[in-house]
Structures are given as C-alpha cells and as structure tokens.
Structure 1
Amino acid sequence: MKEYSAFDIGGSFIKYGIVTENGDLRQQNKMKTPDSLGVLIQRITEVVHRHPDSAGIAVSAPGAVSDEGVIYGISALRYLHGPNIKHRLEEKTGLPVFIENDGNCAGAAEVWKGTAREKKDVLTVVIGTGIGGTVIKEGRTHKGANLHGGEFGFMLLGNPDTGRLESWSQLAATRALTRYAEAEKGIEPDTLSGEEVFEMADEGDPACVKALDRFYRFLALGLYNLQYIYDPELILLGGGVSAREELVQRINEKLDGLMREAPVGTIRPTLDVCHFRQHANLLGAVYRFIQNKPAD
C-alpha cells in the first residue's frame, strides 16, 4: 500500500503525518512554522527523509495555489508567495510534490472520507473570522480562472442597517457576530469572542440573542444564493461554529422564512457539517495528490 508524506502549512505550526492511499493517517505531529522559505524547505525535507518509503509529498498551503506550484495572493506567510515551492521540494527530495490551497484540501477530505463521501457536487463553507470554502463539481475541485473558486466571503449582500453593500464575510463571519453584539451592548470593540457571544445568548442576554438571530439570517441568505448559483447536492459547514449542535437547525429555520418571503425559489439547500476538523488538510492534500498524479 502506498504511503504519502503530508504537510499542512499554517501561520503558527506545520502539521505533518503519513497518509496511506486508503486515507489512514499515521504518525502525525507538528512543528513551529519557520521564518523563511529556505528553513521551511529544509524542515520538510528532514521529515520526508525519515520516511524513505513515501511515494510523494502532498502539501496544504494558504493562498491561491497554481497547478505549477506557485502560490499567489496573500497570507500570513509572505515568503510563500512567488517562488515555485513545488519545484524546490522536488529538487531537494527527489519525490513528486503536489500543493493545494488549504480550503480546497479540507473540502477534498470531506468528499474522500467525510460527510460528502460519494457525492459529486458539493460546496464547503468554512465560517471563521472570514468566510471561505470549496467548490467541488463532478467530484473534482473547481479553482476558477483566477484561482478564487470557493472565495464565497467576497459575495455582496445588502446590509439593511446601513443601506450599503457589504461582503458576506463582513455580515456573517464570526467577527461580524462579535462586532454586532458589542455594538448592541454598547461596549468597546474587540471585547467579546464568538464563543462568548454564543454562551451569553444561551444564558438569555438580549443583545447576544439579537446578534445571533442576525448572524443566522445572513448565513441563510448567502447559502440560499449559493444553492442557486451552483446547485450542489450538499453544502457542508465548517469552522469553529460547526461544533454548535443547533447550527444547521437555526439556519434551516431562517431558510424557511426566506423561502416564504421569496416563494420563487423552491429548491432549498441541503446542509450538514464537516466531519473532519484538525486533520482534514492532511487527508485532503493526499487525496488531491492522488487525483492529479499521472496513471502508473
């Protein structure tokens, strides 16, 4: 059975492990993210050399990752952007390398071994301080002409409070939730965390209850639009809020209301939560490697 060395490059840590061609994760560990590309390449090479049976290297990375191995866009690790990291790793290790965007890796893991297994047309929507995700059409990741497929957070919606257009991230990410709750409570910005807003709403705090109601409505609006843009079989929700047991139920309640308000739409999104969390990018990177490698 073939085994692959998998790496998930994050702003603070690099997770790594051995993933089999059947999707079993072994020997996972992590190390601090280096301050330079040269040290990053060296650290990855050292890990790979400890596993001489690896059939290849699969890397999950932030940014707009091209098939050629160049990472465009911006991220917390500026040194990743510009050099051809795929070629550098291949030269250092002598192994084939595949690099993919971290959000796309998370979506691929769900299709391979997670909630979306055996589905062909799926969207993943990852809700954090911003909103990102993945488009999977016919079982394959759709990156788009500018490598921005799945950047759902840039979608524009009308904000009834201001009368202005704002991005979905500005209206429905966890930072939007905390900002609105802070304004309702009349307290300083950056006082509350998303987790605190949920906890206070559970305890009946009126401002936080109102903020959550608004949060779920804007999530439902965006998901309704995505359903009619892509017409997926399934939309998976990820990020820290996906651990909330009531998440899907509350969004579905808002979708019910939207479909009563605008009865022209008769197809409602089918929602679920992502199965994988901390190891999704390692598994998904290997699955994308397998999908893209030449036939033996």
Structure 2
Amino acid sequence: MYIGAIDIGGTSIKTAISNEYGELKNPKAYPTEADKGGSHLMGKILMICEEMQVQENLDGIAISSAGQVDADTGTIIYATDTIPGYSGMNVCEQVSTKFNVPATMDNDVNCTALGEQWVGAARNVNDFLTVTLGTGIGGALFINGSLYRGTTFSGGEIGHMILHPGGKPCTCMQAGCYERYASSAALSATVQQQLGDMELPVFFERIRSGNAEAIVLFERWIDDLTTGLASLVLILNPSVVVIGGGISAQGELLKEAIQTSLETKLMPNHKKRADCRACGKRE
C-alpha cells in the first residue's frame, strides 16, 4: 500500500510517499506561494498529486494543512489572510474526484501529533501536547490516547492566545498573539532586525560559539515561548510536550533551553510531568 502524503505550510509544501509502516520515500518540497491565494494553491496540490501518481500507483492521498480543517469532509473551515481565498475550499473532494482515490485531510499540527504518537516522540504516550514552531505556532492535544479536535475542529489554536495584550498585530485580526513573538518566523524577524541578513541556522551557530548578542536574542525568544508553554502545561498537565517544526532540528540546544526555562515557571507537581521532546526527523 502506498499513500501520497502532502503537508501544506505557510512557507513550503512538503511531500513524500508512505507505506503502511510510515516509511517515507521520494521526499520533495515546493514553495507554497501563499500570497497567490487558495485557487493557485489548489492547482499546485493537484499538480503535486499527479507527479506522485506517476512515481507510484497510489492507494490514497493524505493531506495536512495549515488552517482549521473539517476532517470529516476535507474542507478548510477557516484560514487567515496568509493564504487568501483558502477558507471554504473542499480540497479532498477535488483531489479524490480528479484521481479516483480516497483522500483525507486534517490540520497540519493534528497530523504531526498523530504521526508522533504512531512512530515518533510520543509513541505509546496517551496524554501529550504537540507544539509546532514555524510561520506561526500550532497546537494539538492528545487526551486518553485520542486526538482532541474540538467541537468545530478548531481545538489547539494556541498560536492565537494573547501573550502580550495590545502588542504586535496578527493575521487573525487580534494583537499580541503568541505566534507573533514565539514562532520561528518571529525569531527570524528579530534576528534580521537586530543582526542583519542572517538565516536561523547561522544564528544558532553563533549561539553555540558563545556570541553574546545572539544569546540575548535567543533567551528573550525562549522566555516568550516558555511563558506560553507554562500556561498550557498548567492547564492541561500533559506528560510530554512535543516540539515540532523545522527549528526542532536544533536538537538538544533548543530542548535544553526550553526545558530549563519552562521548569522555572511551573509548580512542583507539573515539573514532574513536563517532559519536552523534539519531533524525530524521518526521511
């Protein structure tokens, strides 16, 4: 059995072909070109599916996407203006109609949590929180071994909880949202503003080499990140917090910084259960 897997993010679309054991082959990435809107994105999704069908005779197509997703119908309930015109689009219907195979779709962070519980950092864990750091911040919650989607498939929108009231404006029309300060995009913007044109991998190299200016920016970002995480851990009391997104490739440096800062903000009983883990890298 082969399933075409497509992950639609605000910056890039990542794809691979999976077998029934979660083993991936032919990984690829494409620019999302989110500013061109939902119709353009839908056309790109269909093109990608066609390419994968040429590579392998697919038995189905599984799609994860940014935004609030009706997992029953494969429809985008709501997406911010990051992808204009994406809200209301029935992605699965168009894919299954064109390629005559079953298609499923869920929120991207829900899919991350499902994957980590299946073959990753949360394997055999019944109660955990997944937090993905990217263009925004996404969240997904497992309770008693099951994914919690919420009444209208909108559970886990942690990126839009308010961290700094009256702060930076957000695409959701609020101000001071968590993701405006603690996403990897927020860190990248701060680095660009303070240190000039610099990619995050280079920034993290400076941290590892002991650069004082880089460390100050990193610690300020970690403080915002763990302030939000502390509220979530205190409310939800998960046994594991899984950190995902491309920035999780920083491994122990990131994990130790988060764990150390987070523990200073928790009550003793919560510290015992708040085990931070990074998503495993699987090709």
- TM-score category, normalised to shorter length: 0.7 to 0.9
| Residue in structure 2 matched with residue 293 of structure 1 by the alignment | none
2:182 is matched by which residue type in structure 1?
A: A
Post-superposition offset of 1:131: 1.8
| Residue in structure 2 matched with residue 167 of structure 1 by the alignment | 177
Matches within 5 A, 1:56-205: 56-66=60-70, 67-71=72-76, 72-74=78-80, 76-78=82-84, 80-158=86-164, 166-177=176-187, 191-205=197-211
Structure 1 residues 196 and 137: CA distance shift in structure 2, 3 A = same
Post-superposition offset of 1:113: 0.4
Q: Report whether the alignment pairs 1:3 with 2:6.
A: no
Q: Report whether the alignment pairs 1:226 with 2:236.
A: no
Post-superposition offset of 1:271: 0.7
Bigger radius of gyration among the two: 1
Post-superposition offset of 1:33: 6.2
Instruction: Indicate if the aligned counterparts of 1:62 and 1:75 stay in contact, CA closer than 8 A.
Output: no
Q: Structure 2, unaligned stretches of length 5 or more?
A: 34-39, 169-174
Instruction: Indicate if the aligned counterparts of 2:109 and 2:131 stay in contact, CA closer than 8 A.
Output: no
- In 2: Cα distance, 1:107 partner to 1:158 partner: 27
2:131 is matched by which residue type in structure 1?
A: V
- In 2: Cα distance, 1:182 partner to 1:18 partner: 35
Q: Structure 1, unaligned stretches of length 5 or more?
A: 280-296
Post-superposition offset of 1:83: 3.0
What is the aligned-residue RMSD (CA, Å)? 3.3
* TM score, norm. by length of structure 2: 0.77
Post-superposition offset of 1:31: 6.0
* TM score, norm. by length of structure 1: 0.74
Q: Report whether the alignment pairs 1:44 with 2:34.
A: no
| Residue in structure 1 matched with residue 171 of structure 2 by the alignment | none
Q: How many residues align?
A: 265
Q: What per-residue deviation string (whole Å, max 9, x for no partner) do you get for residues 235-283 of structure 1? A: 0112233222222222222234334xxxx55312211111136x5xxxx
Post-superposition offset of 1:20: 1.8
- In 2: Cα distance, 1:133 partner to 1:218 partner: 16
Identity of aligned residues (%): 30
Structure with the bigger RCO (C-alpha within 8 Å, sep 6+) is 1
| Residue in structure 2 matched with residue 258 of structure 1 by the alignment | 265
Of 3-12 and 91-100, more deviation after overlay is shown by 3-12
